[in-house]
Each structure stands twice: as structure tokens, then as C-alpha cells.
A and B are shown apart, each in its own frame.
Chain A
């Protein structure tokens, strides 16, 4: 059974940094693309970033480009999101998601329970 467990969320001041992690188990991690998707309180889903199985293809939403960095460690079956220069509007529940295939945008078939990031002074 696929398990995705996010961690690293918390309360942080605007302009500061945070690193999210996603520990994966139950599948061959290095065979699949992975995603970060966020959901602000009471709002809809917003795609944040994606990374292909080998890290060779990476994409970011315009709202986080230049501030966030997605990465993966296939030896550790882990996905990361380094978030710098955080803004109040980055406040959201951040989900880690597994794609159906090696490349992204073929459908996210497994999701973690999310980790909450709150940016506030």
C-alpha cells in the first residue's frame, strides 16, 4: 500500500524559510514523478511543483518560481520542497502526491495527508 507522509510544516514569519519533506513507502519511488500541491484554508487545490522520476524535469507554478525548490532523493524515497522568502499568501496545507507514471501530469493517484504551513508575523 502506498504511503506518503509529509512533515516540516509550521508557523513561520514572512521572509523566512521552511523545508518540507515527504517520506514515501509501499512503491518503487524512483519509478514515478512526484508533486507538491497546496490548498489555502477554504480554497481550492493549487499545483506548486513537479519533478520527474530522475529529477531531470522540474516545473513550478508562477506563484512560487524563484522562491521554492523541489528535489528528491531516490535512495531515501523522499521528496522535498525548500521554501524561501515565504509570504503570507503561501499559507496552506501542502500535499505530497505521487503521479501515475515517470513523467508528470498523468494524474496524481496517491496523496499524503498534508502538512500545514502558516506564514504570519
Chain B
């Protein structure tokens, strides 16, 4: 059971958009700790796609965006492409646990 809750799977057709949610509590996201998002293509290392709630590292397409509100955060991918098919993880800090926490991951399928 992950501290941050994500849907196990989402899907969308090429060109469409999807949103992945990440629900936390008052000791992590709700305590105003930043949320980061990673993309992991099976068999490869994770890749940072969003840091500090809404910022894209250099090289990440602007089709990737994110937001945070209250105890939740979300990652939105627009104009889906086959290469976006991967697992996505949210990440934050938890003051009760005194450490980082990851969401359980969401498998994105591009239909």
C-alpha cells in the first residue's frame, strides 16, 4: 500500500489526452511538499518528466504538464504518442515518515 495513491492504469488513443492523479495526505502533498513525476519505460531506468509540481526538465515535450492542489496532484499528457506508453510515478516528501514517498505507479497504454 503506497502512501501516495495512483490509479493502476489509464489509456488513451493517439492524439488524445490523459490525466494521472496522485492522492496524498496532510503529511505529504497537503503539507505543501513538492510533487515530482517520473516516466519509466519497462526495462529502463525512470526519467524525471516534471519537478516541483509543474516544471519540465530540459528536453521533456510541452505535451507534459502537471498541477497540484490540496492533497492531490495530477500529470496531464496531451497529443498522446506511442512513445508515451510507460509507467508513471509521482514522488513527494512525507513529514511523518521523514522521507521520500512514491506513488504505486500508473501504467499508461496508448491504444
| Residues of A participating in the B interface, judged by any CB pair closer than 8 Å | 35, 37, 44-47, 50, 59-62, 95, 100, 104-109, 111-114
Q: Which of B40-92 contact A (CB under 8 A)?
A: 40, 45-48, 51-52, 57, 87, 89, 91-92
CA distance A50 to B15 in the complex (A): 38
Q: A45-B105, A108-B91 are in contact. Are A95 and B46 (CB under 8 A)?
A: yes
Question: B interface, how many residues as a size bin?
Answer: 20 to 34
Is the CB–CB distance between B48 and A59 below 8 Å?
no
B52 to chain A, nearest CB (A): 7
B43 to chain A, nearest CB (A): 10
A78 to chain B, nearest CB (A): 19
Q: Which residue of B lies closest to A45 (CB)?
A: B102
Is the CB–CB distance between B105 and A109 below 8 Å?
no
In terms of DSSP, what is the predominant structure of the interface of chain B? Answer: strand
Is the CB–CB distance between B100 and A104 below 8 Å?
yes
B25-36 contact mask (Cβ, 8 Å, vs A): 1 or 0: 000000001101
Partner of B52, one of A37, A107, A113: A107
Q: Which residue of A lies closest to B50 (CB)?
A: A107
Partner of B34, one of A45, A95, A106: A106
* Extra 14 A-B pairs, beta carbons < 8 Å, given A59-B99, A107-B51: A37-B46, A44-B2, A44-B102, A45-B105, A50-B100, A59-B100, A60-B99, A61-B97, A105-B33, A106-B51, A108-B36, A108-B46, A109-B51, A111-B47
B47 to chain A, nearest CB (A): 7
B53 to chain A, nearest CB (A): 10
Query: Which residues from A are CB-within-8-Å of B46?
Result: 37, 45, 95, 108, 111
CA distance A120 to B91 in the complex (A): 30
Is the CB–CB distance between A61 and B104 below 8 Å?
no
